[in-house]
Protein backbone atom coordinates (compact mmCIF):
# COMPACT_ATOMS: atom_id res chain seq x y z
CA UNK A 1 0.00 0.00 0.00
CA UNK A 2 1.35 3.45 -0.85
CA UNK A 3 2.07 5.88 1.96
CA UNK A 4 -0.71 8.20 0.81
CA UNK A 5 -3.28 5.36 0.79
CA UNK A 6 -2.04 4.35 4.23
CA UNK A 7 -2.69 7.90 5.46
CA UNK A 8 -6.19 7.97 4.01
CA UNK A 9 -7.14 4.52 5.32
CA UNK A 10 -5.74 5.21 8.77
CA UNK A 11 -7.78 8.36 9.19
CA UNK A 12 -10.91 6.26 9.21
CA UNK A 13 -9.79 4.56 12.43
CA UNK A 14 -11.31 5.83 15.71
CA UNK A 15 -8.21 6.99 17.61
CA UNK A 16 -7.64 10.45 19.12
CA UNK A 17 -3.83 10.24 19.11
CA UNK A 18 -1.31 9.35 16.41
CA UNK A 19 2.41 8.76 16.83
CA UNK A 20 4.53 9.16 13.69
CA UNK A 21 8.04 7.96 14.42
CA UNK A 22 11.17 6.41 12.95
CA UNK A 23 14.46 5.01 14.22
CA UNK A 24 15.52 2.94 17.24
CA UNK A 25 13.76 5.21 19.76
CA UNK A 26 10.38 4.86 18.06
CA UNK A 27 8.83 1.82 19.74
CA UNK A 28 9.79 2.52 23.39
CA UNK A 29 8.93 6.20 23.07
CA UNK A 30 5.54 5.42 21.54
CA UNK A 31 4.84 2.87 24.25
CA UNK A 32 5.54 5.41 27.00
CA UNK A 33 3.17 7.91 25.34
CA UNK A 34 0.41 5.37 24.95
CA UNK A 35 0.65 3.94 28.47
CA UNK A 36 0.91 7.32 30.22
CA UNK A 37 -1.74 9.09 28.16
CA UNK A 38 -4.11 6.11 28.50
CA UNK A 39 -5.65 6.63 25.09
CA UNK A 40 -6.32 4.53 22.04
CA UNK A 41 -3.52 5.38 19.64
CA UNK A 42 -2.41 4.47 16.16
CA UNK A 43 1.18 4.29 14.92
CA UNK A 44 2.95 4.60 11.59
CA UNK A 45 6.62 3.89 11.02
CA UNK A 46 8.61 5.91 8.51
CA UNK A 47 11.76 4.35 7.11
CA UNK A 48 13.14 0.94 6.16
CA UNK A 49 11.98 -0.98 9.23
CA UNK A 50 8.66 -2.74 8.59
CA UNK A 51 5.72 -1.31 10.49
CA UNK A 52 4.59 -4.62 11.94
CA UNK A 53 8.05 -5.38 13.35
CA UNK A 54 8.42 -1.93 14.90
CA UNK A 55 5.13 -1.72 16.77
CA UNK A 56 3.76 -5.24 16.97
CA UNK A 57 4.83 -5.53 20.59
CA UNK A 58 3.14 -2.25 21.48
CA UNK A 59 -0.06 -3.21 19.69
CA UNK A 60 -0.14 -6.63 21.30
CA UNK A 61 0.52 -5.50 24.86
CA UNK A 62 -1.76 -2.47 24.84
CA UNK A 63 -4.52 -3.58 22.49
CA UNK A 64 -3.68 -0.77 20.07
CA UNK A 65 -4.17 -0.74 16.34
CA UNK A 66 -0.73 -0.68 14.71
CA UNK A 67 -1.84 1.28 11.70
CA UNK A 68 -1.65 4.77 10.23
CA UNK A 69 -2.66 7.95 11.99
CA UNK A 70 -5.65 9.98 13.04
CA UNK A 71 -6.54 13.31 14.53
CA UNK A 72 -6.96 15.51 16.53
CA UNK A 73 -3.46 15.12 18.00
CA UNK A 74 -0.51 13.94 15.91
CA UNK A 75 2.98 13.45 17.36
CA UNK A 76 5.76 13.81 14.76
CA UNK A 77 9.06 12.34 15.92
CA UNK A 78 10.45 11.20 12.57
CA UNK A 79 13.65 12.33 10.93
CA UNK A 80 16.85 11.27 9.24
CA UNK A 81 19.97 10.19 11.10
CA UNK A 82 23.18 12.12 10.60
CA UNK A 83 25.53 10.62 8.00
CA UNK A 84 29.31 10.47 8.44
CA UNK A 85 30.81 13.80 7.43
CA UNK A 86 27.41 15.47 7.21
CA UNK A 87 27.11 18.93 8.76
CA UNK A 88 24.30 19.87 11.11
CA UNK A 89 22.86 22.19 8.47
CA UNK A 90 22.91 19.45 5.84
CA UNK A 91 21.07 17.12 8.22
CA UNK A 92 18.58 19.88 8.96
CA UNK A 93 18.07 20.35 5.25
CA UNK A 94 17.27 16.67 4.77
CA UNK A 95 14.85 16.67 7.71
CA UNK A 96 13.22 19.81 6.37
CA UNK A 97 12.53 17.97 3.11
CA UNK A 98 11.04 15.04 5.04
CA UNK A 99 8.73 17.41 6.89
CA UNK A 100 7.77 19.13 3.63
CA UNK A 101 6.42 15.74 2.56
CA UNK A 102 4.90 14.66 5.90
CA UNK A 103 3.08 17.86 6.91
CA UNK A 104 1.00 18.37 3.73
CA UNK A 105 -0.02 14.70 3.79
CA UNK A 106 -1.14 14.95 7.40
CA UNK A 107 -3.16 18.09 6.76
CA UNK A 108 -4.67 16.76 3.54
CA UNK A 109 -6.43 14.05 5.51
CA UNK A 110 -6.60 15.66 8.96
CA UNK A 111 -7.06 19.39 8.35
CA UNK A 112 -7.96 20.15 11.98
CA UNK A 113 -5.00 18.29 13.46
CA UNK A 114 -2.85 19.64 16.27
CA UNK A 115 0.75 18.84 15.38
CA UNK A 116 3.19 18.05 18.19
CA UNK A 117 6.80 18.01 17.01
CA UNK A 118 9.50 16.09 18.88
CA UNK A 119 12.20 15.78 16.20
CA UNK A 120 15.45 17.52 17.13
CA UNK A 121 16.49 20.26 16.95
CA UNK A 122 12.92 20.67 18.08
CA UNK A 123 12.79 24.47 18.07
CA UNK A 124 13.92 24.69 14.45
CA UNK A 125 11.77 21.75 13.28
CA UNK A 126 8.71 23.23 14.98
CA UNK A 127 9.36 26.57 13.27
CA UNK A 128 9.56 24.85 9.88
CA UNK A 129 6.48 22.73 10.57
CA UNK A 130 4.46 25.83 11.42
CA UNK A 131 5.60 27.44 8.19
CA UNK A 132 4.57 24.44 6.09
CA UNK A 133 1.27 24.10 7.96
CA UNK A 134 0.44 27.78 7.45
CA UNK A 135 0.12 27.10 3.71
CA UNK A 136 -2.85 24.87 4.60
CA UNK A 137 -4.57 27.37 6.87
CA UNK A 138 -3.25 25.98 10.15
CA UNK A 139 -2.66 28.65 12.77
CA UNK A 140 0.57 28.73 14.84
CA UNK A 141 -1.34 27.69 17.95
CA UNK A 142 -1.98 24.28 16.39
CA UNK A 143 1.74 23.57 15.83
CA UNK A 144 3.59 22.81 19.05
CA UNK A 145 7.06 21.54 19.85
CA UNK A 146 7.96 19.57 22.96
CA UNK A 147 10.28 22.45 23.84
CA UNK A 148 11.74 22.33 27.34
CA UNK A 149 8.88 20.40 28.92
CA UNK A 150 11.26 17.64 29.99
CA UNK A 151 13.95 20.12 31.11
CA UNK A 152 11.39 21.97 33.24
CA UNK A 153 10.31 18.69 34.87
CA UNK A 154 13.94 17.87 35.65
CA UNK A 155 14.51 21.34 37.09
CA UNK A 156 11.51 21.03 39.40
CA UNK A 157 12.42 17.49 40.47
CA UNK A 158 16.04 18.32 41.29
CA UNK A 159 15.15 21.52 43.14
CA UNK A 160 12.32 19.81 45.02
CA UNK A 161 14.66 17.04 46.09
CA UNK A 162 17.19 19.56 47.37
CA UNK A 163 14.71 21.61 49.42
CA UNK A 164 12.66 18.62 50.57
CA UNK A 165 9.38 19.41 48.80
CA UNK A 166 7.35 17.38 46.31
CA UNK A 167 8.11 18.68 42.80
CA UNK A 168 4.41 19.34 42.08
CA UNK A 169 4.60 22.23 44.56
CA UNK A 170 7.70 23.72 42.92
CA UNK A 171 6.94 26.23 40.17
CA UNK A 172 9.98 26.75 38.00
CA UNK A 173 10.57 27.03 34.26
CA UNK A 174 13.31 26.34 31.74
CA UNK A 175 12.92 28.60 28.70
CA UNK A 176 14.68 29.24 25.40
CA UNK A 177 16.32 26.62 23.22
CA UNK A 178 15.90 22.97 24.07
CA UNK A 179 19.65 22.55 24.23
CA UNK A 180 22.85 24.00 25.59
CA UNK A 181 21.69 27.63 25.67
CA UNK A 182 18.45 26.99 27.61
CA UNK A 183 17.78 29.27 30.58
CA UNK A 184 16.77 28.17 34.08
CA UNK A 185 14.64 31.05 35.38
CA UNK A 186 15.65 31.11 39.04
CA UNK A 187 14.08 34.55 39.53
CA UNK A 188 10.60 33.11 38.81
CA UNK A 189 10.83 30.10 41.13
CA UNK A 190 8.23 29.74 43.85
CA UNK A 191 7.41 26.94 46.29
CA UNK A 192 3.80 26.65 47.33
CA UNK A 193 3.28 30.25 46.22
CA UNK A 194 6.26 31.51 48.25
CA UNK A 195 9.29 32.98 46.43
CA UNK A 196 12.16 30.51 46.56
CA UNK A 197 14.62 32.52 48.64
CA UNK A 198 11.93 33.46 51.16
CA UNK A 199 10.96 29.80 51.46
CA UNK A 200 14.61 28.82 51.95
CA UNK A 201 15.09 31.40 54.72
CA UNK A 202 12.03 30.11 56.58
CA UNK A 203 13.13 26.48 56.20
CA UNK A 204 16.84 27.22 56.71
CA UNK A 205 17.70 25.56 53.41
CA UNK A 206 20.73 26.73 51.45
CA UNK A 207 20.27 27.45 47.75
CA UNK A 208 23.40 29.39 46.92
CA UNK A 209 25.31 29.86 43.68
CA UNK A 210 27.01 26.48 44.05
CA UNK A 211 23.68 24.67 44.46
CA UNK A 212 22.20 26.55 41.49
CA UNK A 213 25.22 25.69 39.36
CA UNK A 214 24.95 22.01 40.27
CA UNK A 215 21.24 21.84 39.41
CA UNK A 216 21.80 23.85 36.23
CA UNK A 217 24.51 21.43 35.12
CA UNK A 218 22.36 18.38 35.85
CA UNK A 219 19.41 19.78 33.90
CA UNK A 220 21.46 21.05 30.98
CA UNK A 221 23.66 17.95 30.61
CA UNK A 222 21.08 15.26 31.47
CA UNK A 223 20.60 14.09 27.89
CA UNK A 224 24.35 13.73 27.33
CA UNK A 225 24.75 11.56 30.43
CA UNK A 226 21.78 9.36 29.47
CA UNK A 227 23.03 8.92 25.90
CA UNK A 228 26.46 7.94 27.23
CA UNK A 229 24.80 5.30 29.40
CA UNK A 230 22.27 3.72 27.03
CA UNK A 231 22.53 5.48 23.69
CA UNK A 232 19.16 7.28 23.64
CA UNK A 233 16.74 9.35 25.75
CA UNK A 234 13.41 7.86 24.77
CA UNK A 235 11.83 7.32 28.22
CA UNK A 236 12.17 10.94 29.33
CA UNK A 237 10.89 12.48 26.12
CA UNK A 238 8.17 9.82 25.91
CA UNK A 239 6.90 10.90 29.33
CA UNK A 240 7.02 14.58 28.33
CA UNK A 241 5.09 13.90 25.12
CA UNK A 242 2.55 11.87 27.08
CA UNK A 243 2.00 14.82 29.41
CA UNK A 244 1.52 17.24 26.50
CA UNK A 245 -0.86 14.96 24.61
CA UNK A 246 -2.86 14.28 27.77
CA UNK A 247 -3.30 18.04 28.30
CA UNK A 248 -4.50 18.46 24.72
CA UNK A 249 -6.78 15.43 24.57
CA UNK A 250 -8.41 16.20 27.93
CA UNK A 251 -8.38 20.01 27.53
CA UNK A 252 -6.64 20.37 30.89
CA UNK A 253 -5.57 24.02 30.44
CA UNK A 254 -2.06 23.48 31.80
CA UNK A 255 0.90 25.85 31.60
CA UNK A 256 3.78 24.03 29.90
CA UNK A 257 7.07 25.18 28.42
CA UNK A 258 6.39 23.97 24.90
CA UNK A 259 7.79 25.84 21.92
CA UNK A 260 5.83 27.60 19.20
CA UNK A 261 6.44 30.45 16.72
CA UNK A 262 6.53 33.76 18.58
CA UNK A 263 6.74 37.27 17.04
CA UNK A 264 9.28 38.51 19.59
CA UNK A 265 11.34 36.78 22.26
CA UNK A 266 13.60 39.06 24.32
CA UNK A 267 14.18 41.26 21.28
CA UNK A 268 14.63 38.46 18.74
CA UNK A 269 11.99 38.58 15.99
CA UNK A 270 10.01 35.66 14.51
CA UNK A 271 11.58 32.78 16.41
CA UNK A 272 10.51 29.50 18.00
CA UNK A 273 11.79 28.71 21.48
CA UNK A 274 10.22 27.40 24.66
CA UNK A 275 8.16 29.77 26.81
CA UNK A 276 5.35 29.18 29.31
CA UNK A 277 2.18 28.57 27.27
CA UNK A 278 -1.39 27.90 28.36
CA UNK A 279 -2.24 24.67 26.54
CA UNK A 280 -5.61 23.00 26.02
CA UNK A 281 -7.80 21.10 23.62
CA UNK A 282 -7.43 23.65 20.83
CA UNK A 283 -3.65 23.86 21.15
CA UNK A 284 -1.93 26.96 22.48
CA UNK A 285 -4.48 29.24 24.11
CA UNK A 286 -2.15 31.90 25.44
CA UNK A 287 1.57 32.69 25.45
CA UNK A 288 3.07 34.34 28.50
CA UNK A 289 5.80 36.62 27.20
CA UNK A 290 9.11 36.85 29.00
CA UNK A 291 10.72 38.71 30.60
CA UNK A 292 7.97 39.10 33.17
CA UNK A 293 10.20 39.46 36.17
CA UNK A 294 13.37 37.92 34.83
CA UNK A 295 16.67 39.22 36.12
CA UNK A 296 18.81 41.23 33.72
CA UNK A 297 21.17 38.26 33.38
CA UNK A 298 18.32 35.87 32.56
CA UNK A 299 16.89 38.29 30.01
CA UNK A 300 20.27 38.53 28.31
CA UNK A 301 20.63 34.75 28.31
CA UNK A 302 17.14 34.33 26.80
CA UNK A 303 18.03 36.86 24.09
CA UNK A 304 21.19 34.88 23.33
CA UNK A 305 19.30 31.58 23.25
CA UNK A 306 16.60 32.89 20.92
CA UNK A 307 19.30 34.46 18.75
CA UNK A 308 21.03 31.09 18.34
CA UNK A 309 17.83 29.50 17.02
CA UNK A 310 17.10 32.46 14.74
CA UNK A 311 20.59 32.19 13.24
CA UNK A 312 20.18 28.46 12.59
CA UNK A 313 16.92 29.17 10.77
CA UNK A 314 18.59 31.93 8.74
CA UNK A 315 21.58 29.72 7.92
CA UNK A 316 19.29 26.88 6.86
CA UNK A 317 17.35 29.18 4.56
CA UNK A 318 20.61 30.43 3.03
CA UNK A 319 21.90 26.84 2.62
CA UNK A 320 18.71 25.78 0.84
CA UNK A 321 18.64 28.90 -1.32
Distances from the Cα of 200 to the Cα of 57, 163, 186, 205, angstroms? 48, 8, 13, 5
All structural domains of the chain with their residue ranges = 3-145, 149-320
pLDDT at 41: 46
Per-residue pLDDT, 38 = 44
Nearest-angstrom CA–CA distance, 133 and 110: 12
Give the model's pLDDT for residue 126: 96
Position 44 scores a pLDDT of 47
Sign of CA dihedral 313, 243, 276, 288: positive
Secondary structure (3-state) at 190: strand
Pick the CATH number of 3-145 from 3.40.50.620, 3.40.50.720, 3.50.50.60, 3.30.230.10: 3.40.50.720
**If DSSP codes are grouped into helix, strand and coil, which group holds residue 35?**
helix
In degrees and rounded to multiples of 5, residue 142 shows phi and psi of -95, 0
Which residues does the annotation mark as catalytic?
Answer: 178
List the chain residues with pLDDT less than 70. 1-72, 82, 223, 225-234, 290-292, 321
Q: Do 268 and 237 form a contact (C-beta atoms < 8 A)?
A: no
- pTM: predicted TM-score of the whole model, two decimal places: 0.82
Query: What CATH number belongs to 149-320?
Result: 3.90.110.10
Determine the pLDDT at residue 231.
59
Amino acid sequence: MSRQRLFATALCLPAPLTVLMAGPRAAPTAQIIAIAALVLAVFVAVGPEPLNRLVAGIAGSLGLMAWGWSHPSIVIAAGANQKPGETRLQLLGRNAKIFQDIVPNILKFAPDAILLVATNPVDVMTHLTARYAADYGIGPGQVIGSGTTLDTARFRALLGRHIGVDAQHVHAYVVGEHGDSEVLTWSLVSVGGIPLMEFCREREVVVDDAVKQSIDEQVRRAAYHIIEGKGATYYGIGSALARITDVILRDQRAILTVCAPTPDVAGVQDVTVALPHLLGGSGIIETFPLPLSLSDEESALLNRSAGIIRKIIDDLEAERG
